[in-house]
Chain A
Amino acid sequence: MKHKYIVQVSKLTKKFGSFTAVDKISFNVSKGEIFGFLGANGAGKTTAIKMLIGLSKPTSGDAIVAGFDVVKEPEKVKYKIGYMSQKFSLYDDLKVFENIRMYAGIYGIPKKEINSKIDNLIQELGMEAMRNNLVGDLPLGWKQKLAFAVAMVHNPTVVFLDEPTSGVDPITRRQFWEMIYKASEKGTTIFITTHYLDEAEYCTRASIMVDGVIKALDTPKNLKENFGVKSMKEVFVKLARG
């Protein structure tokens, strides 16, 4: 691979008219990293993610994701990335296995592999009994776990998770993070935004965005030491207050 990092961002900027939502952010994410992308509401996190996954065109700057330029080769990037949005991304009126089959299908996974893929995924999630249930009837926690598994169905190089755990109970959040760790151990790079600052402690590295600019970027341990505080929450509050 010609690029050293999985996500390589330099001076990425997005302007809406005179408003600068994302202001020349630069960072790199290595393979297998769990990269926390933190910031208050309206800090520009979602806008930044949208540029990285090809939903929004950068005003200026470069971004290389999984070895391809997001502006010049967006179609190639698409096969390499998974995405789970803030909004629930599965179809309520499709059954559990149908959702998996449909997403596997649109990522061009061969028919023969799809069936074994469905079986494996359902087994890993422990959802054998719910295989034929409509997704709309599942509890939220199960839905989120399934949505994560579906975002990973095509073995992406990097998966973007936009506040995947909002509104989920603590136990499910815990299980969710176990899934994230497992994926990261297998070499998948995780790019995650979250509101829960205790979750920031689980990240390999975390960045904190304020008003479109990345104010801090380091391992949680270093961040806490530099700011002389005990938790990521305090780091965040210090930065967000300016």
Chain B
Amino acid sequence: MKAFGAFIRKEYYHIIRDPRSLLILIGMPIVQVILFGFAITNEIVDAKISILDKSKDAVTQEISNKILSTKYFLLSEYLEDSKQIAQSFKKGEIKLALVFEDGFAEKLHKNENPSIQIITDATDPNTAATLSNYISRILVDYQGQIALNSFTPGGIKVVTRMEYNPQLKGVYLFVPGTIVIILMLISAMMTSISIAREKEKGTMEILLVSPLKPFMIIVGKVIPYIFLSLTNAITILLLGVFVFGLPIRGNYFLLFFEITLFIITSLSLGIFISTKVKTQQEALLISLMGLMLPTIILSGFIYPLESMPKLLQYASDVIPAKWFLIMIRNIMIKGVDIRYILNETLILLGMTVLLMMLSIKSFKIRLE
């Protein structure tokens, strides 16, 4: 045990004597949360629109006003001619154009279903879809109002409630996602690099000749990173709660437990990578390309898994981050208890055990 203490102390020196890496390790999570929290948001505000109102009556006026009074839209200009629409799109002045047909109010009163054309700039498909959704919602809302006022029978009133995140805040998505990325980065990438460094420099040989058991060498290399990862996870959570008003509705211990589990999964991944590579560069490359990229794309952090081709959906099942992300979102935002995320927990646990066994096996082979 004393021997183990001496080894851990050495690891501690490695980390604090490399201020640049340390700064990245501590600073990056903070910068990332703030960047993701403030800069990347799904909500679109102040999108410029043009309106071509061929009817110019009280109803179209009312609808226009209603749309422009929201925080989502700003009027660029009223157009007079449909030819102008293409022009203003090309100039990049507007994201969306509204066209009211002739005799709008009249048709409405006669129950003839007048139409509004929504034209969007779909060079950015997400924005286009979101904006046209906003407009549709406002129109449905307006229809509900007039139906109520005129007591016309029929007509369906749609009441939408955005459960768990009524304000549709992006941070609800990004804070858990950032935790996943950071933990993956520190736990998997840093450990694989740190073990690869000992191999590359030749010090691993000396350690293996010493009475220190191979298993202990690995545990010793990993322990400092467990602490670093936990510190970072807590920092990100605190930032999320106090800066962005993210709730933690579930049990703290459960959250802590799942975070620790995921850290151990990532560490096993890092160890596994390190048994397969010879140099730090290889370790870095494999961690980045083989871990970070699939994690970002296939975990459901940014892109919804449901909209991916079936093949990619199956591929995402082997990404540990996917399961962790489901759990952490459920615990924090929905406040569920262990019963609801038992499957995910077991899957992650199984992955961890498997990876551990694989790395122990390949570590031994290397010694032969």
Q: CB-CB < 8 A to B211: which residues of A? A: 75, 78-79, 106-108
Kindly identify, within residues 326 to 368 of chain B, every residue whose CB is under 8 Å from any CB belonging to chain A. Answer: 367-368
Q: CB-CB < 8 A to B368: which residues of A? A: 56-57
A88, B208: Cα distance in complex, Å: 15
Q: Which of A93-101, A124-132, A228-236 contacts B (4 or more CB under 8 A)?
A: A93-101
Q: Decide: A93 and B205 in contact? CB cutoff 8 A.
A: no
Q: CB-CB < 8 A to B202: which residues of A? A: 85-89
A53, B18: Cα distance in complex, Å: 32
- Looking at chain B's contact residues, the main secondary structure is helix
- Binary CB contact string for chain B from 166 to 193 against chain A (1 if under 8 A, 0 otherwise): 0000000000000000000000000000
Q: Is A102 on the interface with B (CB-CB < 8 A)?
A: yes
Q: CB-CB < 8 A to B14: which residues of A? A: 91, 93
Which B residue sits closest to A93, measured CB to CB? B17
A18, B129: Cα distance in complex, Å: 65
A81, B17: Cα distance in complex, Å: 31
A94, B9: Cα distance in complex, Å: 10
Find B205's partner among A57, A85, A91, A101 (CB 8 Å cutoff).
A85
- Binary CB contact string for chain B from 5 to 40 against chain A (1 if under 8 A, 0 otherwise): 111011001100110000000000000000000000
A98, B17: Cα distance in complex, Å: 13
Given contacts A89-B203, A94-B10, A102-B7, contact A78 B210 (CB under 8 A): yes
Which A residue sits closest to B367, measured CB to CB? A55
Given contacts A86-B202, A91-B14, contact A81 B2 (CB under 8 A): no
Given contacts A57-B368, A102-B6, contact A93 B210 (CB under 8 A): no
Q: Decide: B209 and A81 in contact? CB cutoff 8 A.
A: yes
Q: CB-CB < 8 A to A102: which residues of B? A: 6-7, 9-10
A197, B10: Cα distance in complex, Å: 37
Q: CB-CB < 8 A to A57: which residues of B? A: 367-368
Q: Decide: A105 and B203 in contact? CB cutoff 8 A.
A: no
A103, B7: Cα distance in complex, Å: 8
Q: CB-CB < 8 A to B7: which residues of A? A: 102, 105-106
Q: Decide: B209 and A54 in contact? CB cutoff 8 A.
A: yes
Q: Is A11 on the interface with B (CB-CB < 8 A)?
A: no
Q: CB-CB < 8 A to A83: which residues of B? A: 205-206, 209
Distance between B78 CB and nearest chain A CB, rounded to angstroms: 68
Which B residue sits closest to A92, measured CB to CB? B201
Q: Is B312 on the interface with A (CB-CB < 8 A)?
A: no
A8, B203: Cα distance in complex, Å: 27
Distance between B176 CB and nearest chain A CB, rounded to angstroms: 35
Q: How many contacts A-B (CB < 8 Å)? A: 77
Q: Decide: A107 and B3 in contact? CB cutoff 8 A.
A: yes
Kindly identify, within residues 189 to 222 of chain B, every residue whose CB is under 8 Å from any CB belonging to chain A. Answer: 201-203, 205-212
Kindly identify, within residues 278 to 323 of chain B, every residue whose CB is under 8 Å from any CB belonging to chain A. Answer: none
Which A residue sits closest to B6, measured CB to CB? A105
Q: Is A174 on the interface with B (CB-CB < 8 A)?
A: no
Q: CB-CB < 8 A to B18: which residues of A? A: 93
Q: Is A238 on the interface with B (CB-CB < 8 A)?
A: no
Distance between A163 CB and nearest chain B CB, rounded to angstroms: 12
Given contacts A79-B211, A83-B206, A85-B202, contact A94 B2 (CB under 8 A): no
Distance between A21 CB and nearest chain B CB, rounded to angstroms: 13
Q: Is A72 on the interface with B (CB-CB < 8 A)?
A: no
Q: Is A182 on the interface with B (CB-CB < 8 A)?
A: no
Q: Decide: B13 and A93 in contact? CB cutoff 8 A.
A: yes
Q: Is A111 on the interface with B (CB-CB < 8 A)?
A: yes
Q: Decide: A106 and B212 in contact? CB cutoff 8 A.
A: yes
Q: CB-CB < 8 A to B201: which residues of A? A: 87-88
- Binary CB contact string for chain A from 141 to 174 against chain B (1 if under 8 A, 0 otherwise): 0000000000000000000000000000000000
Q: CB-CB < 8 A to B209: which residues of A? A: 53-55, 78, 81, 83
A134, B206: Cα distance in complex, Å: 19
Report the 7 A-B pairs with minimum CB-CB distance, sorted nearest first. Answer: A105-B6, A87-B202, A93-B17, A83-B209, A106-B3, A89-B206, A78-B211
Interface of B with A (CB < 8 Å)? 2-3, 5-7, 9-10, 13-14, 17-18, 201-203, 205-212, 367-368
Q: What are 6 A-B contacts with C-beta separation under 8 Å?
A: A55-B367, A57-B368, A78-B211, A79-B211, A87-B205, A110-B2
Having A54-B208, A54-B209, one finds 7 other A-B pairs with CB under 8 Å, namely A78-B209, A79-B211, A81-B209, A85-B206, A88-B201, A89-B203, A94-B10
